[in-house]
Amino acid sequence: MELEELKTIWQKYDRKLDHLEKLNKRIILDTLSKKPQRKLNRMKYQSLFLIFMIPVILILGLHDCFRIENVDLKFIIGCVLTLTFVTILCYLNLKGFLELRGINLGTDSILESVRKVTEFKRLFIRKRKFNLMAFPMFFVGILFIAWKSFDFGSNILFLLLGVSAVSLALGYKQLKMYSGKIEELQKEILDLNEYAE
């Protein structure tokens, strides 16, 4: 009879131990998933912020150029080029925001979350390629919009070329850093796999 009682007690404690182990894994998973979730939220906020701020910054920066006397063929071409660039960029940012919003570390499996982050990374790479190829078009568009505001001397041409080169270099550096953040996020989510049930 003692052996049967010991087996029963042993099984009871074994179930409790299994339950505690699952509970510990769940608590660790919840704790460790907070950091990637904060990164996801920050990326979502940045995408949403860019959708609204790019047009606002352009309008505020160029509002002096929007006068009737400035409207000519260059101004119209500049507006079309700039509007095309901004529209595509805002669309890509909106699409990225929607993909990031679809990632839920709490309900998705780890592999599903990593797959969704990989899809976002592919979109981000397309956006980066678009930025690098279309930035000269955007810069020419801005230049055409503000054409009548410039006094074209040698100093202003060097300044414009310098601003263009620095903007392109800073944009490339920023995009490269953001790409690293995406890879870091993927790694952190994959590290959660050890604690997933």
pLDDT, tens digit (0-9, with 9 covering 90-100), for 77-108: 999 999 999 999 889 889 989 988 888 877 77
pLDDT of residue 153: 67
| Residue 17 predicted with pLDDT over 60 | yes
pLDDT (mean) for 107-134: 81
**CA 112 to chain centroid:** 18
Cβ neighbors of 25 (< 8 A, separation 6 or more) are 195, 196, 197
Give the integer Cα–Cα distance in Å for 139 and 168: 10
Give the integer Cα–Cα distance in Å for 149 and 109: 55
Neighbour tally for 44: CB within 10 Å: 17
Mean pLDDT of the chain: 81
pLDDT (mean) for 125-150: 82
With CA atoms as reference, report the closest residue to 29 among 106, 103, 108, 118: 106
Read off the pTM.
0.73
- The residues spanned by each domain of the chain are 44-195
